[in-house]
Amino acid sequence: MVKNPRYKSTFESNNMISIICEKIVLKNIELSTTEEELFEDEPINYVRRELEGTEAETRRNAASNLVHGLLYHFGQATTQAMLGFIMAKLDHYSQNPSANWKSKDTAQFMVTSISAVASVKSLGVTQTNQLVNLTDFYNTQMHPHLVNLNSDSNCPILKSNAIKYLYVFRNQLPESQLLEVFPSLVAHLVHPSVAVSTFSAIVLERFLVLKKNNVLVFDEPKVSPYAQSILEKLFGLILSNSSPEKLSENDFYAKLIMRTILSCRNGIPNLAPVLFDKLTLILKNICINPSNPLFSHFLFESVASLSRFTCSSDPSAVTFIENGLFPQFQIILENEISDFMPYTFQILSLLLSLHKNESQLSSVYISLLQPILQPVLWEYQGNIPALTNLLQSYFSVNGQQIAENGQLEPVLGIFQKLIVSKMNDQYAFSLLSSIVLYVPLRFLENYLKPIFILVLNRLQSKKTPKFVRLFTQFVGFFCSIDVNLPKTPNSTENRYIYKFLKTFEEIQPQLFLSLLTNVLVQAIPVVSGPNEIKYTTIGFTSLICSKEFSNLKAPESIASSVISQIIKLLEDHSLKLKNKEYSESGLESENKLIELDFDEAVYQSSFSKLSTLENIKLDPCARITEPRQFVGYELSSKINSGNTFIQNAISQISESDKNFIQAYLQLN
């Protein structure tokens, strides 16, 4: 009602704004007995409700929303009236701080109500009331509660409010004040009040991702001196609880552990032995009864990031990490703790991938492979993405060993199960891509025909745009593998394009030409992802330029269409990059780890990806960095060698596409 312009004159008359603030707002903002009891008896629930801000359905927040409504049309009058009441409350508090502490609590809440105009959960307040001096209020009324850990013993809620003030207005307060208060927040992690301690953890975590002028306020050099102290305090708080439920109750502590590891990733390996001991001890305890998914998620993020950074600094540390984690992983797998199994598979995938430079899979991982191939594990949807990544890591270390051990058929059985599912077909192609990349072609020859029959059956029975895109990408992936192979003109039968086309001819003569004309050509421009675009471009270019393709007696118009679609794919992608509308999925670099924000979506019941781990990236043509240059080189070499098929195909494309080809030629 107060925002409705029709009633504006009503509120402007008879000192109505001041009366509303005094008789309605002020009375409802005062701390209730119920809220005071919640602070003492259920501190974590109290904190969660405070973080909800005005979204929480409380009497206080209803009054705060009324203030925001008044500020919409009557900003100056409302601010002046509220500031008057704030000063009166602060004066009442100063007369007897021990007895009148609730007056200051009211004043603190009123300042936040009239100051925060707009906010975003992950960023804090983004727009403030310019009539309120937030820095001055912090210096005079909030900061004194933070300098002494033992102050406010009879009214810790005032200390909690002061810390919350930092959380709410972290974007507005000067950087110097945030840096100055950081050690005090670290000290307050061990405050006797759980609410105060928890708010300290929350604010510290938000400080570690805070940017001003697009630069981190708390970069690694500023955080590192406090890292050990922060982590010791947090582990002490968590492990002081006896029951698994209480131990995992406070996910804010776990989140700060994770964030501290991310923030200090270069120096954190020095603390790794102690940290792994603590993390595995916590994991051992919560395995008894997993009760807080958020706590568990941040715990596994901590384990994953610490493993990653430690092994990056010292590759030999992988053995130490495996020795510490494997006993806990064994408990999780043997007891089928479903909440933790996807996390376990993801970390195993990371650890296994660190063995890439070894000639053989170790006995430990060999013994683990058979159990993870059991169909029952693949029945749970939450396991499938993580298990797929784990199998991909197995093949990346030694795909030939898996084939020689006779375990390729069970893996292909899993592929068969995944390919028929609209929900899981992307994992089927991810798995298949790893197989064809890392298993020598001689082991695959007998399986290629049934594999492609399965794909074609799915294409015929349950064709979707997603499946067509995935299949198109895979065709490009398969055909681009030849690029990395040594040139052996006299052994054509060993080439992937030869095997690919021969397989389709065995299924049905001219089948691939029909598939290319009616399905694949149209799907080339919808391929997404820089890596996928690269190998799709290279694969299809290699395909149409190959002797094997020309032997199919394909009409030149098909090659012409492929060339045009490749150009469209490359140039549309280039335009998106220029407009900054497109970025590669997953973690683009380790430098972006610190910017990961887990507020929006952390935990999903089906599968929770560990964001601190990189996505598996398969590159069948790693030596090629610029696909345009490759396209130009391949086409020019065919033209210069007198290949009339390619010459005639290029003659049929549009003038604008010919101009692009000329530009690609000039890159060589």
- The chain-wide mean pLDDT, for the chain, equals 89
Residue 492 is predicted with a pLDDT of 55
User: What is the Cβ-side half-sphere exposure of residue 96, based on CA atoms within 13 angstroms?
Assistant: 2
How do residues 425-464 score in pLDDT, each as one tens digit? 999 999 999 999 999 999 999 999 999 999 999 999 999 9
Measured in residues, the chain has a length of: 668
pTM, full prediction: 0.90
Host H or E run for residue 212: strand 211-212
CA distance 29 to 107: 9
Residue pLDDT, tens place only, 105-114: 999 999 998 9
For 330-359, what is each residue's pLDDT tens digit? 999 999 999 999 999 999 999 999 998 888
Q: Which residue has the higher pLDDT, 637 or 503?
A: 503
Q: Could you read off the pLDDT of 492-503 as tens digits, one per residue? A: 555 899 999 999
Query: Residues 231-268: pLDDT tens digits?
Result: 999 999 999 998 999 999 999 999 999 999 999 999 99
Quick: pLDDT tens for 44-67.
Answer: 999 999 988 755 678 888 888 888
pLDDT above 70 as % of the chain = 91
pLDDT for 489: 57
Strand, coil or helix: what is 118? strand
Q: Which residues of 238-257 are buried (b: 16+ CB within 10 A; e: fewer)?
A: beeeeebeebbbbbbbbbbb
> Which pLDDT belongs to residue 1?
47
Give the H/E segment covering residue 216.
Answer: strand 215-216
Sign of the dihedral through C-alpha 107, 109, 113, 115: positive
Q: What is the pLDDT of residue 595?
A: 61
Q: Are 527 and 576 in contact (CB under 8 A)?
A: no
List the domain boundaries for the chain.
Answer: 1-117, 133-207, 343-461, 463-582+625-668
pLDDT above 90: residue 523:
yes
- List C-alpha distances in Å: 116 to 67, 168, 172, 369, 404: 11, 8, 10, 55, 66
Whole-number pLDDT of residue 582: 43
Q: What CA dihedral angle connects 171, 174, 180 and 186, to 10 degrees?
A: -10
- β-pairing, 116-120 vs 211-212, is unpaired
